[in-house]
Structure 1
Amino acid sequence: PADSNRSLSDAQKDLLDRWILQGAPYDTHWSFKPPIANETPALRSDLQSWPKNGIDRFIAARFLSEGLEPSPAADRETLARRASLTLTGLPPTPKQLDAFLSDETPEAWNTYLDQLLDSIDYAERQALRWLDAARFADTDGYQNDAERSNWPWRDWVIQSFHENQPFDQFTIEQLAGDMLPDPTPEQILATAFNRNHRQNSEGGALAEEFLVENIIDRVETTATVWLGLTMGCSRCHDHKYDPLSQREFYQFFAYFNNIGESGIGKGTGANPVVQASSPIAKAPAELTEKVETARKAVVEAETTIAARLDAWIARATAELKSDSEADWLDAEIRNAVVKPTGTLLAEKDGSWRLDGENPANATYEIEIALPADKRITGIRLDALPHDSFGKPRKLARSSNGNFVLTGLTATRGDSLPLGFRQAIATFSQDNFPVTNVIDADPKSGWAIFGKKSESGQVSALFLLDQPIQTSAKETLTLHLAHEGAYGGHNIGRLRLYLTDQENPNLDGKSGLDTNLQEALKSPAEKRTPDQRKALREHYTTIDPELTRAKKELAKIEKQMSDQGYGSVSVMVMREKDGDPAPSYLLNRGQYIDPDTSAALPRAVPAALFSGKPENQPRDRLELAQWLVSAENPLTARVVVNRVWQEHFGTGLVKTAEDFGSQGEVPSHPELLDWLAVKFRESGWDLKALHRLILSSATWQQGSVTNPPLLSQDPQNRFLARGPRFRLDGFTIRDSALQAAGLLSTKVGGPPVKPYQPEGLWNAVNQSANFRYSPSSGSDLYRKSLYTYWKRAVNPPRQIIFDAGGREVCNVSARRTNTPLQALVLMNDTTFLEAARNLAQRVIKDESSEASRLGELYRLATARKIDDETSTVLGENLAFFRAHFTAAPEAAAAFLSSGESPTDESVSAPELAAWASVAHLVLNLDETISLE
């Protein structure tokens, strides 16, 4: 522009002059044209024998134009390691490697690739890449960053890759599985892809604002993953570089604007949700049998309930009376303790008051002397105000006078804890009902903010699963837990009572509804069918035998859930009934400024759509189908490019996230189109695409370079040598665990928490009960795919090794080399423990020291050791042996990392010396790089 105060250079002016003289031709951007299945180029005679498939002919044609020659092929050991790392994220084991190297048949390579592609390791590796693109995490993000449970979707992704689901179907089910005819539970689960966005549950968050943000996230993610376009740049105005208008952005937005969601709330309850379990994690037979036995016990209790029901009706009828005072027995408190700090002081009226420190999360341990010869059925808790709490009617020392009681357990003597069947209260705060106290969930609780009464007192009644018949000198120990997210919200003053009544009256609130009381008052012969039905239905909720059976079933089902075999709440897509919600252009992209002059019809950008306007996709399902149709010029190219990126470190288009005019042009455009068409015509077969690339002479070249080649092509864009790049943090960790013999092969299930620096979450935790507690046992050594991903604090090891944050979609490979990465490999508990266990795998072998060093090296690198390396490692072993022999305390300290057991049968200095060599090997370029 004239007012920019900038001018064109002479070269730019000359370029424009020549363009005008040529007729000023202007063509559509390359990526918006349909891909063409180009004929493979003819080659000169000296290159005729080099190609192994069509890929190589396109690469060799570029060699000719650049004056290059292909590099010699890599040896079979290198190729086997390279293929295993890129396909499965793990190096081959010595057994796998030996089997391949000993197979001298022409089909050896194909057989080896088939084994890799058919393995669950392949599916898990491909799923890991997809999770980055899908911005999958185990928390909601934003400041609250609450926990969510979308992990069954992650397992669905693993299953899909394992079964080699065609990519077009993979696409349709994730974008619109809920809209398919008679969708299966798995197809509905698949739609969690577009509910992996962040979810705001902060106080003051506006539903209207974050509803828009969620939809925009879907637009940007879908456009990046399937179209390779920066569509988000047209949210506030027309795209500055690509033919994407702001109007078209909000037309695309309209496809995702008809989900029955509020825009805010924690992910576990952010409708629409479904209860889903892992499609791949199968429960062990022993656990399945326990569940079946428990279910049979429930059925048995239900079929034998009649006699117990009659006995209860007789007792309950006799207990109906108007004098509620007779329902309560004073609780004789012998001792009351506050943990971790604080004091409960006895008041003259029999109540107890919190004195001294007000802990962030207090547990009251109260010992009650039980009255003799009573049938105790429940416990009453009164929360009482006190002058020392400040304002009148405050029931706690917190700033707002509120408390949050998250748990109550009762133990009779030294026996197992007693269960509770029912909880009622004179008042409960919205979303904090008193039933939360007995739900076994420390994250939920009973609160009373908003209570307005003359006295301020609030009372709760907790009825036992089964009454307890007391004898002399018995005690009952209560634990009242305040483990909520709000520090200092502990009950300030309390009084306790016991009851021996079946249905005590709590200040006008009875355990029995009015209709049940009326039914009991009616003579048995005059009760109506509805009354008899109501009494039976109520009794099924309190019958001790049935309650016990149901609790046992619930306990086993929780075990299944904790191990990844139960169902959890997963956010999914679901269209609202009726006409689609209208969508409008948002001026400047602001949710508060819609242009309501006209609702926008759903449509994909005109630059991508070759059909008639009336044939535009009408809904989300048709959009998904169009994305994987021949009419869309981008999806096949974009997917092929990302697969190429996995194997070469860089895609044919370096900017995997941007196929627009600001992205890099393809290094080999004809090859990209040829692959895209071949992929689509193969039925969108991803395994066939991997096999094609890994069977090419291009990929099988050695990665050794030379000064002239490095000078001409430092980034290997012409592909005159094989790939070489540092592995990502996921692969480095998992490979170290495999070498050490620690890696768990368990598939699917809830996320796990491996080692990480202590206190890392503290600064961002909004919830006192949302602390990082490392997993234990084999869960510490599961693949990095299953690591718990907290958006506010990403797994530190992975972030240091360039993993993308999961707040937004990420499809690009990023690699840096920094001192922090070296420090992780040298000092992280995972690698120190892996080194010790790797040493323990070879140290007791009766072979020579050199043979053991060779085995250690091979376990870590999947390569045979050479003489020079063997000599260097032997010298280091001698050095470390002398060092630790002279400093045995240093040996003990070095061996102390990690939870796995140390082999005590080997002297600490000797084991530390071997572990130090193993540690050195785990840090080598040969271990952490793909070559």
Structure 2
Amino acid sequence: MCYPSRWVVAFVGLLGSVANGRGADPTDHFEAKVRPVLIQHCTKCHGAEKQKGGLRLDTKAGWQAGGDTGPTLVPGKPAESLLIKALRGADGVAQMPPNGKLTAAEIAALEQWVKDGAIDPRAAGPARLGGVTAAEAKEWWSFRPVTRPPVPSSAGTNPIDAFVQAKLAGQKLTLSPPADKRTLIRRTTYDLTGLPATTEEIEAFLKDTSPEAFAKVVDRLLASPAYGERWGRHWLDLVRYADTAGENSDHPLPHAWRYRNWVIDAVNRDVPYDEFLRDQLAGDIVAARSPNEKYAPRVVATGFLALARRFGHDIDKDVHLTYEDTIDTVGKAFLGLTIGCARCHDHKYDAITAKDYYALYGIFDSTKFAFPGCEPQQLPRDLVPLMPPAEWDRVVKPYKGKLASVDVRLAQLRTEQTELARALKTRATTLGSLLAKGEIADGSEQPFDKLPAVIDVRAGQFLQLSVTPLKNHGADSTLIEWDITEIGGKERRWNLTADVLDDLLAANPHADAHGNKRVWWFLDTRDGPLPLPEAARDLSGKPGLHAWRNGDTPSVFANSSKEPVSVWTKLPARSVFVHPGPNGNVAVGWLCPIDGKVRITGRVKDAHPGGPDGVGWMLEQFPGEVGADLLSLATKSEKLQALERERAALVASAPTQDVAFAVAEATPHDAKLHLRGDPEKPGPVVPRRWLEVFGGELLPAKAGSGRLELAGWIASKNNPLTARVMVNRVWLHHFGRGLVKTPNDFGTRGSAPTHPELLDWLASEFVEGNWSVKALHRRIMLSATYQQASAMRPDGAKVDANNDLYWRFDRRRLSGEELRDSLLTASGQLDRKSGGAHPFPPEASWSYSQHVPFSTFYDSDKRSVYLISVRNRRHPFLGLFDGADPNATTPQRQDTTVPTQALYFLNDPFFHAQADKVTARALAKPEATRLDELFRAAFQRVPTAKEREAAAAFLMRYTTAVTDTPAADRTKAAWAALTRILLASNEFLYLD
């Protein structure tokens, strides 16, 4: 039998070493005993094709790098090496291989190898970045630097046409003839504004025979505010814009509209694309370094980051998923890279590692994202002010001074009041006498039937009815009825309900019906008899439900309405209640205004059964000294209430500033890698840096979060992806497909460009033209490639059925927004004013949950870009007509044709309402011009002779057929039906 030479050498060496009484050569030991074991048992799961746990054992570099759980070997120390522990199944480490333990001899050989220093002669192999080698990544087409290719000289004067025609020539094809002028202006107007051209605009273009006629149209449209609304919508698709957060209760984002409008404005102003990107990633940092008139817009721009989707129930616990959404969107939208795929492991296909992902993760983890609210924490927080801090300090300084002065006086009064109340409590304890007491069980009641029939009273004495919680604080809302009748004298009567019900909040202490002030008292008796300080109107939004309280409890409250009120329980009408605190009593007191005798009646009733226990109560009588002290306390209390009102008025008039749903700097730090993407399994710390394939530049010292540096890396003219990706997007929205058909994926799983030289030429022009998107539009739209007709040609269809070579212009259907806006335009109902905030309910009223999430759509006649976008529920119209999914980046709209779209034109109330308004406009014209008016509204042209004949025939047939309609209404019904036919026709829905 023949052996390979290395095995012979190893065998002879082993014999020699035994003969000489020493161990085998470590290299020979590896080749003879270790490599075979690794190949047979390990590299299937830990080799080049598969790396379970992030570990490779097919190269020395692999085990040196270690896996998700840390270093694999400690050379010289087998007992501390994770690999040896796994082979033995020791120290709680899962046994490897999982399908059967190695033999004792094999394990001993591996232990000896590690003990001898883990000598491994294997070459490391080519360096890898994710799913490709470093060399392959360097040569990947989209990672190569953008170079300006020479323009083909053999065809055309326009460089775009030259590149396109050069490709066509290779297939013996040519461009199609130019589109007719009416088709061209309709196409161009929709492309740039998303709206139909007016009849006047079409007529003016048709009459303009100058060589610059079309260029003037393009310039006019680029200057229109509608341009920003149309192309801003493309960007909002890309960055998954929404007006709700996306977590399980889908909380509203009342300030998100500011970012939407910022995008529209920036697109209209043609903000250079590199600046456009920088402001969205780090506008707040730029603004803070040089505050100026751009401060607020730049803060608002970071709404791009803040609008990242939120997840789960308590969104703070799933913030790693929000960062994943951010990284994924930044990668796809700005770079055309699927960076999010590296959250759990190195990218399987592209040159992106898990360390790349967590290097970026640390940047966003060093950023404070505005909090939208969620089910357990309803209210938003960390919204970002739109005024520079120094300027805001100047504005708010006078207010803060006044507030501080009031707070000093309040603190002094509260101290004086507390001391007086404690002294009063001590005196009352020794001077008071108990008239009656009792306890009521859950859901029951108890009358004051054990009181003396006659009670002697003197002016200034105090009667106090206290209600105290029992051990489970079961009866929270307790009904009180208390009547005091004078015996003899003027036979006056004091009734708690009658005296205070209709004006409970007038004062505390409260007057009686006889004109006596400070008779009825509402007291917190936990630390002494203190008047309840806070007046609260319309509790829980229920009119007529008012209270005096100290915090939520204790309180005295009344339902002054004539009907029961359903709140935490059903409260009977025209009644007074008390609610003790969980740690002490609440009391209602009567300061006696007479000398004489009285009779007391009333009851205490559990108004909210189900506690599980009831309440205790006691009625006490205090002498005049206590009453005098109470009056002194009341004076303090009234001063305190007046000062509280002064403070409340001051707070209500406090200067305010607008805020944005945006981001701000947080404490900068590097993040730990999450093993297998699990934040509960942290790995090593990963320094914040740029992607390794582009140099892996680290953040400089004291860089803050790193967002500004990240923006610089992405928006650099030397970045090979950014310009290519954006140029491709603009091309896509003009032609219906990109030069790269996968606009969000320029990696190895995406499509290669059909015209790579044209893509790079346009990218070069884009950067050299100061990143101007409007200039890019002009360059594309003034080409013969853009202006050609859409008619099908047999020669082109035979060679290039998908029109990848652009031998004609592809027909397209209007997007959902274009369709809705066109219907509103035809009906004359489109509101062209810019959209603002949506009418969300006040934040204080929010109580959204996973069972009752926010899900409201608001009607509007404004352009569709301003419609509310709800993440957890599709808009009925845009959901039907392929609107963008606000939960993820949408680089290109789907184009579906489904039966429900046809049913929409038959049945939808909105469509019928717009058609009826178009019909009304036509019927207001003389009969001879009605059809012209109808065609102008729908198609911006007059009908042909053939169309006139067809319309007349239809109107006659319809009028004859609708015999169940009164004669006077038949004409209107027929014209309305004709209108609906035109508005649902291909000419209305499609662009050539």
TM range (shorter): 0.5 to 0.7
> Is this contact kept in 2: 1:832–1:919, CA < 8 A?
yes
Amino acid at match of 2:986: D
Amino acid at match of 1:914: W
Amino acid at match of 1:772: T
Other structure's SS at 1:101 match: helix
Match of 1:194 in 2: 305
Match of 1:829 in 2: 909
Match of 1:815 in 2: 895
**The one of 835, 840, 846 aligned to 2:926:** 846
**The one of 507, 521, 526 aligned to 2:586:** 507
Q: Distance in 1 between matches of 2:795 and 2:182?
A: 27
Q: Distance in 2 between matches of 1:575 and 1:718?
A: 48
Question: RMSD across aligned C-alpha pairs, in angstroms?
Answer: 5.1
CA shift digits 1:700-752 (9 cap, x unpaired) = 00011123322332322111111311111111111111111111112020247
CA shift digits 1:849-875 (9 cap, x unpaired) = xx4323322322334433333333332
> Is this contact kept in 2: 1:383–1:459, CA < 8 A?
no
Superposition pairs for residues 332-411 of structure 1, below 5 Å? 393=474
**Alpha-carbon spacing, 1:347–1:612, altered in 2? closer, same or farther (3 Å):** closer
> Is this contact kept in 1: 2:386–2:657, CA < 8 A?
yes
Q: How many correspondences in the alignment?
A: 703
Q: Distance in 1 between matches of 2:198 and 2:277?
A: 34
**The one of 666, 669, 675 aligned to 1:576:** 666
Other structure's SS at 1:574 match: strand
Residue 609 of structure 1 deviates from its aligned partner by 3.6
**Alpha-carbon spacing, 1:698–1:417, altered in 2? closer, same or farther (3 Å):** farther
Match of 2:338 in 1: 230
**Alpha-carbon spacing, 1:713–1:821, altered in 2? closer, same or farther (3 Å):** farther
Superposition pairs for residues 548-587 of structure 1, below 5 Å? 570-577=660-667, 580-587=668-675
**Alpha-carbon spacing, 1:157–1:741, altered in 2? closer, same or farther (3 Å):** same
Q: Distance in 1 between matches of 2:927 and 2:382?
A: 62
CA shift digits 1:792-819 (9 cap, x unpaired) = 1111221222223111222123212222
Instruction: Normalising by structure 2, report the TM-score.
Output: 0.62
Q: Distance in 1 between matches of 2:142 and 2:703?
A: 21
Residue 182 of structure 1 deviates from its aligned partner by 3.4
> Is this contact kept in 2: 1:243–1:607, CA < 8 A?
yes
Q: Distance in 2 between matches of 1:508 and 1:134?
A: 58
**Alpha-carbon spacing, 1:523–1:434, altered in 2? closer, same or farther (3 Å):** closer
**Alpha-carbon spacing, 1:59–1:446, altered in 2? closer, same or farther (3 Å):** farther
**The one of 802, 806, 814 aligned to 2:882:** 802
Match of 1:606 in 2: 692
Match of 1:640 in 2: 727
Amino acid at match of 1:583: A
Residue 657 of structure 1 deviates from its aligned partner by 1.0
Match of 1:877 in 2: 955
Match of 1:888 in 2: 965
Match of 1:903 in 2: none
Q: Distance in 1 between matches of 2:258 and 2:333?
A: 21
Q: Distance in 2 between matches of 1:509 and 1:573?
A: 50
> Is this contact kept in 2: 1:585–1:594, CA < 8 A?
yes
Amino acid at match of 2:277: T
Match of 2:110 in 1: none
**The one of 331, 337, 361 aligned to 1:253:** 361
Match of 2:216 in 1: 111
**Alpha-carbon spacing, 1:917–1:201, altered in 2? closer, same or farther (3 Å):** same
Q: Distance in 1 between matches of 2:523 and 2:984?
A: 61
> Is this contact kept in 2: 1:617–1:626, CA < 8 A?
no
Residue 493 of structure 1 deviates from its aligned partner by 6.8
Q: Distance in 2 between matches of 1:672 and 1:383?
A: 81
Match of 1:376 in 2: none
**The one of 846, 851, 873 aligned to 1:793:** 873
> Is this contact kept in 2: 1:199–1:265, CA < 8 A?
no
Amino acid at match of 2:977: S
**Alpha-carbon spacing, 1:57–1:729, altered in 2? closer, same or farther (3 Å):** same
Match of 1:772 in 2: 856
CA shift digits 1:330-389 (9 cap, x unpaired) = xxxxxxxxxxxxxxx998979xxxxxxxxxxxxxxxxxxxxxxxxxxxxxxx99999xxx
Q: Distance in 1 between matches of 2:779 and 2:675?
A: 48
* Structure 1: gaps (5+ residues): 5-23, 278-298, 324-344, 351-381, 398-414, 428-432, 452-456, 465-474, 483-488, 500-504, 511-516, 558-565, 754-763, 892-906
Relative CO higher for 1 or 2, CA cutoff 8 Å, sep ≥ 6? 1
Other structure's SS at 2:660 match: strand
Q: Distance in 2 between matches of 1:420 and 1:173?
A: 54
Other structure's SS at 2:368 match: coil
> Is this contact kept in 2: 1:857–1:864, CA < 8 A?
yes
**Alpha-carbon spacing, 1:101–1:426, altered in 2? closer, same or farther (3 Å):** farther
**Alpha-carbon spacing, 1:349–1:140, altered in 2? closer, same or farther (3 Å):** farther
Q: Distance in 2 between matches of 1:75 and 1:847?
A: 31
> Is this contact kept in 2: 1:38–1:674, CA < 8 A?
yes
Other structure's SS at 2:664 match: coil
Match of 1:918 in 2: 979
> Is this contact kept in 2: 1:268–1:571, CA < 8 A?
no
**Alpha-carbon spacing, 1:69–1:585, altered in 2? closer, same or farther (3 Å):** same
The answer on 1:929 being equivalent to 2:929 is no
> Is this contact kept in 2: 1:192–1:571, CA < 8 A?
yes
> Is this contact kept in 1: 2:177–2:788, CA < 8 A?
yes
Other structure's SS at 2:796 match: helix
**Alpha-carbon spacing, 1:831–1:250, altered in 2? closer, same or farther (3 Å):** same
CA shift digits 1:130-182 (9 cap, x unpaired) = 11111111111132112122111111111111222111111111100111113
The answer on 1:76 being equivalent to 2:181 is yes
Q: Distance in 2 between matches of 1:612 and 1:771?
A: 44
**The one of 847, 857, 860 aligned to 2:938:** 860
Residue 67 of structure 1 deviates from its aligned partner by 1.4
Match of 2:439 in 1: none
Q: Distance in 1 between matches of 2:202 and 2:220?
A: 12
Larger Rg: 2
Amino acid at match of 1:930: L
Q: Distance in 2 between matches of 1:621 and 1:632?
A: 15
> Is this contact kept in 1: 2:240–2:887, CA < 8 A?
yes
> Is this contact kept in 2: 1:200–1:264, CA < 8 A?
no
Amino acid at match of 2:793: N
Superposition pairs for residues 413-812 of structure 1, below 5 Å? 459-460=554-555, 482=567, 489-491=568-570, 496-497=575-576, 507=586, 537-541=643-647, 570-577=660-667, 580-596=668-684, 599-609=685-695, 619-751=706-838, 766=850, 770=854, 772=856, 774-775=858-859, 779=860, 781-812=861-892
* Structure 2: gaps (5+ residues): 1-38, 46-134, 388-398, 426-442, 449-465, 479-501, 509-521, 526-532, 579-583, 590-627, 841-847
Q: Distance in 2 between matches of 1:441 and 1:30?
A: 63
Match of 1:137 in 2: 242
Other structure's SS at 1:639 match: helix
> Is this contact kept in 2: 1:262–1:271, CA < 8 A?
yes
CA shift digits 1:824-882 (9 cap, x unpaired) = 2332222111111111111121151xx43233223223344333333333322223322
Amino acid at match of 2:691: P
Match of 1:38 in 2: 149
Q: Distance in 2 between matches of 1:519 and 1:133?
A: 68
Amino acid at match of 1:571: F
The answer on 1:57 being equivalent to 2:162 is yes
> Is this contact kept in 2: 1:752–1:786, CA < 8 A?
no
**Alpha-carbon spacing, 1:200–1:56, altered in 2? closer, same or farther (3 Å):** same
**Alpha-carbon spacing, 1:771–1:136, altered in 2? closer, same or farther (3 Å):** closer
Q: Distance in 2 between matches of 1:522 and 1:393?
A: 31
The answer on 1:99 being equivalent to 2:204 is yes
> Is this contact kept in 2: 1:383–1:494, CA < 8 A?
no
Amino acid at match of 1:192: G
Q: Distance in 2 between matches of 1:671 and 1:110?
A: 22
